[in-house]
Amino acid sequence: NAGVTQTPKFRILKIGQSMTLQCTQDMNHNYMYWYRQDPGMGLKLIYYSVGAGITDKGEVPNGYNVSRSTTEDFPLRLELAAPSQTSVYFCASSLRDEQYFGPGTRLTVT
Amino acid sequence: DAKTTQPTSMDCAEGRAANLPCNHSTISGNEYVYWYRQIHSQGPQYIIHGLKNNETNEMASLIITEDRKSSTLILPHATLRDTAVYYCIVRGSNQAGTALIFGKGTTLSVSS
pLDDT in tens, A17-60: 999 999 999 999 999 999 999 988 889 999 999 999 999 999 99
Query: Which residues, in sequence order, are bridge partners of residue A13?
Result: A109
Helix (H, G, I), strand (E, B) or coil at B56: strand
Residues B90, B80: Cα–Cα separation, whole Å: 27
- With CB atoms and an 8 Å threshold, state whether B91 touches A97: yes
**Shortest Cα distance from B106 to chain A (angstroms)?**
13
**Shortest Cα distance from A94 to chain B (angstroms)?**
7
Residue A97's identity, in one-letter code, is D
State whether residue A96 sits within 8 Å of chain B by CB: yes
Encode pLDDT of B29-74 as tens digits. Answer: 889 999 999 999 899 999 999 999 899 999 999 999 999 999 999 9
Identify the pLDDT of residue B1. Answer: 65
- Residue-wise over B69-93: b if at least 16 C-beta within 10 A, else e? ebbbbbbeebeeebbbbbbbbbbee
Other Cβ atoms within 10 Å of A8 Cβ, number: 11
Residue A69's identity, in one-letter code, is S
Pairing of strands B106-111, B84-92: antiparallel
Residue A47 C-beta-side C-alpha neighbours within 13 Å: 20
Q: How many CB pairs under 8 A join A and B?
A: 54
* CA distances to A8, B9, B24, B91 from B4, in Å: 35, 15, 5, 11
User: What is the pLDDT averaged over residues B81-90?
Assistant: 96
User: What is the pLDDT averaged over residues B94-106?
Assistant: 85
Cβ neighbours of A102 in B, within 8 Å: 43
Encode pLDDT of A76-105 as tens digits. Answer: 999 999 999 999 999 999 988 889 999 999
